[in-house]
């Protein structure tokens, strides 16, 4: 359970945001999940302009397997490219990374379902499809029992099969840019249809909180002209909406909570440290509270804009200075403080 959000500001810039809550065994929650991680190995990032992250929702271990598979393929392909020593050869496009992510997700899905089927019946998916398997003595055994065939079908297709919920309830956003610097986002889902969708709008969202986030994003995107949606969204305004959507998911959806992790992408930069930036812990918490305070009428929009711009982008003031400026911006900072601590205020 989670929310992972992404928003495109311009042709070369954008941002992502996620929460940190994870649920263990339907009874425990933990505020320590690292849901958005780089999938481009460091040596490749330092050699060429290439950034991509995988923001996953669902079973943590499955997301880790998918990320590992993507990194391994990128490493192999990068080594192969360098061994050819061809001049002016470009590495992968970001669209190719989307496809690699989809292929790795499909492999992980099939492998885990296959393991469950083999654990139940001592044959695998391939045997089921061909209609027979061979036992330890090498004897051919036809798969004929109706109940057995229906159970395998249900496992493969996620029909009345809760034991594969942890496999099918996985989705992700891959976002980033290649050597062109053009920022793109795509969504992948492990559900039965196994979709890979390059975003057709300026936003994308996945996870249990995506229904709430989607309403906020849709409302914002609908207010923009076509020209603005094609790549002229003010980065501070967009960041406010990204945080608003993540706040909304945390307010209305179980399984979304804790501090946020904010990621910034800038395809115009050549320095790896400038083209990809993370904001987390105290600064991300303050950013979410600033936006929350604005939408609950404790501070004005001009104050919100200036504080988010300084906190996320300009970074010329300390955390304590910004926190003090935030409190000073409220006409009733005592009431705002109580509200942000969870009190019901009128």
pLDDT per residue as tens digits for the range 73-111: 999 999 998 887 665 568 999 999 999 999 999 999 999
**Residue ranges in the chain modelled with pLDDT below 70:** 85-89, 192-193
Contacts of the segment 268-275: beta carbons below 8 A, 24+ positions apart: 268/12, 268/13, 268/181, 270/49, 272/45, 272/46, 272/51, 275/49, 275/51
82: in domain: yes
298: in domain: no
Domain extent, residue 13, equals: 4-116+164-279
Q: How many folded domains does the chain comprise?
A: 1
Instruction: Compute CA 214 distance to the chain's CA centroid, rounded to the nearest angstrom.
Output: 14
What does DSSP assign to residue 12?
S
312: in domain: no
pLDDT at 87: 56
Does the pTM of the predicted model rise above 0.85? yes
Residue 238, domain CATH: 3.60.20.10
Number of C-beta neighbours around residue 307 at 10 A: 26
343: in domain: no
What does DSSP assign to residue 230?
T
316: in domain: no
Opening angle at CA 21, ends 16 and 22, nearest 5: 115
253: in domain: yes
CB 57 within 8 A of CB 2: yes
pLDDT at 74: 97
341: in domain: no
Distance CA 55, CA 2 (A): 10
Distance CA 137, CA 118 (A): 17
150: in domain: no
């Amino acid at each position: 359970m989670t929310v992972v959000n992404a928003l495109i500001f311009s042709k070369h810039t954008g941002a992502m945001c996620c929460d940190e809550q994870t649920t263990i065994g339907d009874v425990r929650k933990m505020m320590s999940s690292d849901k958005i991680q780089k999938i481009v190995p460091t040596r490749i990032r330092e050699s060429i302009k290439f950034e991509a992250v995988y923001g996953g929702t669902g079973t943590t271990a499955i997301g880790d397997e998918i990320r590992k598979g993507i990194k391994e393929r990128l490493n192999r392909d990068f080594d192969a490219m360098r061994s050819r020593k061809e001049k002016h050869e470009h590495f992968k496009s970001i669209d190719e990374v989307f496809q690699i992510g989809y292929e790795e997700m499909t492999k992980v899905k099939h492998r885990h379902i296959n393991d469950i089927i083999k654990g139940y019946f001592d044959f695998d998916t391939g045997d089921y499809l061909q209609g027979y398997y061979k036992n330890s003595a090498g004897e051919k055994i036809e798969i004929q029992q109706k109940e057995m065939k229906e159970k395998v079908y249900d496992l493969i297709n996620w029909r009345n099969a809760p034991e594969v919920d942890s496999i099918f309830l996985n989705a992700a956003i891959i976002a980033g840019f290649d050597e062109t610097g053009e920022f793109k986002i795509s969504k992948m889902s492990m559900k039965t249809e196994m979709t890979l969708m390059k975003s057709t709008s300026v936003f994308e969202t996945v996870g249990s909180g995506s229904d709430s986030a989607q309403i906020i994003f849709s409302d914002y995107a609908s207010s923009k002209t076509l020209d603005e949606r094609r790549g002229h969204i003010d980065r501070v305004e967009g960041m406010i909406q990204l945080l608003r959507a993540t706040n909304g998911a945390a307010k209305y959806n179980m399984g979304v909570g804790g501090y946020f992790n904010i990621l910034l992408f800038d395809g115009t930069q050549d320095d790896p440290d400038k083209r990809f930036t993370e904001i987390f812990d105290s600064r991300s918490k303050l950013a979410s509270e600033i936006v929350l305070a604005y939408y609950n009428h404790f501070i004005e929009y001009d104050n919100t804009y200036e504080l988010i711009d300084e906190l996320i982008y300009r970074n010329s003031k300390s955390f304590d200075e910004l926190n003090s400026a935030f409190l000073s911006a409220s006409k009733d900072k005592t009431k705002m403080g109580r509200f942000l601590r969870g009190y019901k205020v009128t």
